[in-house]
A = this chain, B = another copy of it.
Amino acid sequence: MAQPINRYKADLRDFRFLLFEHFKIQDILGKPPFQEWGEEECSMILDEVYRFACEVTGPLNPVGDAVGCRLENGEVKVPAEFHKAWQQLWEAGWASIGAPVEMGGQGAPSSLQAIVSEMLSGSNTAFNMYPGLTLGAAEVIQHFGTERQKKLYVPKMMDGTFGGTMCLTEPHAGSDVGAATTTAYRREDGKYLIKGTKIFISGGDHDMVENIIHLVLARIEGAEPGTKGLSLFIVPKRRVDEDGNSGEANDVAIPSIEHKMGIKASATCVVQFGDDDACIGELVGEVEHQGMTQMFMLMNFARIGVGIQGLSVAGSAYLNALDYAKERKQGSSIEHFKDPSAPRAEIIRHPNIRKDLLDMKARVEGIRALIIKLSSHQDRIQALGPEHQDLITYHQGQVNLLTPLVKAYGSDQAFHVCERAIQTFGGHGYLADHPVEQYMRDAKIFSIYEGTNAIQSMDLVGRKLGQAGGNNVRAFLGDIQKFIDANKEHPDLAEAVANLARAHGAVGQTVMQFLGWFQGGKMAFIPLNSERFLEMMSELAVGWLLLEQAALAIEKLGSVSESHPDHAFYLGKKYAAIYFAKNVLSLVPSKAKIIATADTSPNDIPDEAFATV
């Protein structure tokens, strides 16, 4: 059950297509701040990280699932095999590839980093959570911390000596972060006594590092209620002296870890701070009550990261299902289904299997395009000089707008793709012998943590649509309109582009519908319809990007010989886009109509009417 066999698969050709053909990363390479990066470096990194994922982390994925984590004498033990991989990861530098050079990273473009993350996470989601959260915490300290804090904590978080966490959730404060009751008491030395219990802390303890740097949201005694009264603290597991040495215990205890459906090798801890009134923390930076702003940097980073996690398992699930479909023989082809002596066919010959495979391909590659689109906006922000404030505003607006789509649609669809992949495997997919059942179990958490997908949809509709006076969503819809105008008579894609145009119109109308509800004070309609809208808008975005890829691919098809592997690759882009437009985009207008009916039945039904028990 827990053999060290790699089952991770990725299609590097799609990565290269995204970087160099679709989003043209080369436009920003060789210039500040990416002056050290060239096409060749980027391409080489893909090969090397894929090898690492297949050789180091991939084989440990089923092992971690079978072994899980243990709590022994108040300390968490990860699977023994993880220790060596942890060292190798930091030595290779993959975990910190996207971090700024000044904090010890390699300063790679975000779009490259997103793909590196996809491979690391896809090969072993549970393992990759430890470095991922460590890096996120280090970036917060680097960004908001004092010079002393940056020097003291960041370097050891960038070489695998220290781990890092984000501690938000409490037993009664999950989605409602502002209800947190963990308290910080001012000490005379400028530090704080921390007291409270946090739950669901990923990597809250583990034995791959000498110390763990917790970032803890807490309310300074007397601060106002809600999120505005929260501050962020650096709370090490063991106290760190001014030379960076880890010393005595800091009254941070792990009373228990959770038994979960998936990501079993990622320790999910209850963390008790200051049970003996001896837990000392220091404020991140020097200003109190900035906790939410500071934490939001980490949360946005993490939300995009969750979308990547979703994509990562879905991508490998799809490719595993594809390989199985090419090998597994079952039944005869549909033309001879009544002849028992007809030769047995590989199941990829069966149309229903092909439909599922193409469905998975379109969703995986479309969501990947959406993620790299978002990352490219981030890269452009970095690459633009201050004289381009308008463009920076545009790119930042798209990052803000697309983040909830990447997190929620990415995670929902990841789960869906994993479920479909199991179906391709039939009964075998239900067994630990194949990776897909673990992928699906691992994937379920993605729709929940870092803000449930319902929260994401509220963020989209309640905040992001209205940001910058609606400019961001207008720019988004405008970009799509340009594509429609340019391609509505495309010889191969016109019908699909017509589907896109109808979906575009429907999304635009629904935006106005929400505006009307906001203006009319009909607040209950927002959460009743926001999840459906997030899905519609994501489908529009994905359908658009798939069609953009298809148009590009069809253009390139003319200059590629039929025997070259690129020929098939480009054809795949064409069919994925057509499939998605006809089968998914085509439903978007009907979903808009449902929203427009403003069904109130969920609010009208009395509580007692849900059931009589």
**How near does chain B come to A437, taking the closest CB pair, in angstroms?**
4
If A448-B430, A454-B352, A597-B582 touch, does A329 touch B602 (CB 8 Å cutoff)? no
Instruction: Judge whether A583 and B599 touch: CB under 8 Å.
Output: yes
Asked if A319 CB lies within 8 Å of chain B CBs, one says yes
Q: Which DSSP category, helix, strand, loop or mixed, fits chain A's interface?
A: helix
| A344 sits at the interface (CB 8 A) | yes
B residues in contact with A11, CB < 8 Å: 611-613
Query: Is residue A200 contacting chain B, with contact meaning CB distance below 8 A?
Result: yes
Bound state CA distance, A20 and B524, in angstroms? 37
How close is A49's CB to chain B, nearest CB, in angstroms? 15
Q: Is A120 an interface residue (CB 8 A)?
A: no
Nearest B residue (CB) for A458:
B352
> Inside 8 A of A578's CB, which chain B residues have their CB?
599, 601
- A387-431 vs B: 1/0 string, CB under 8 Å? 000000000000000000000000000010001001100110111
B582 adjacent to A176 (CB under 8 Å): no
Chain B residues with CB under 8 Å of A332's CB are 176
The closest CB in chain B to the CB of A593 belongs to B586
Assess whether A466 is interfacial by the CB under 8 Å rule.
Answer: no
Interface size on A, residues (CB 8 A): 114
Q: Are B452 and A426 in contact (CB under 8 A)?
A: yes
Residues on B with C-beta less than 8 A from A432 are 259-261
A189 within 8 A of B: no
Least CB distance, A70 to chain B, in whole angstroms: 13
- List A residues 77-111 near B (Cβ within 8 Å): none
A294 within 8 Å of B (CB atoms): no
Contact B582 A586 (CB under 8 A): no
Which candidate, A333-341, A376-384, A508-516, is the interface stretch facing chain B?
A333-341
Q: Which residues of B contact A440 (CB under 8 A)?
A: 261, 444
A14 — which chain B residues lie within 8 A by C-beta?
611-612
Contacts of A354 in B (CB 8 A): 528, 602-603, 605
- Point out the residues of chain B lying under 8 angstroms from A176, CB to CB: 330-332, 344
Q: Judging by beta carbons under 8 Å apart, are B572 and A599 in contact?
A: no
A486 at the interface (CB under 8 A from B): no
Other A-B contacts than A334-B524, A352-B458, A357-B610, 18 sampled, CB-CB below 8 A, are A10-B613, A11-B613, A14-B612, A172-B330, A175-B331, A258-B431, A259-B433, A261-B430, A334-B526, A348-B607, A351-B528, A352-B528, A352-B531, A423-B453, A430-B448, A571-B606, A575-B601, A582-B601
Sorted nearest first, the 7 A-B pairs with minimum C-beta distance are: A226-B340, A572-B609, A568-B608, A575-B605, A354-B602, A13-B612, A176-B331
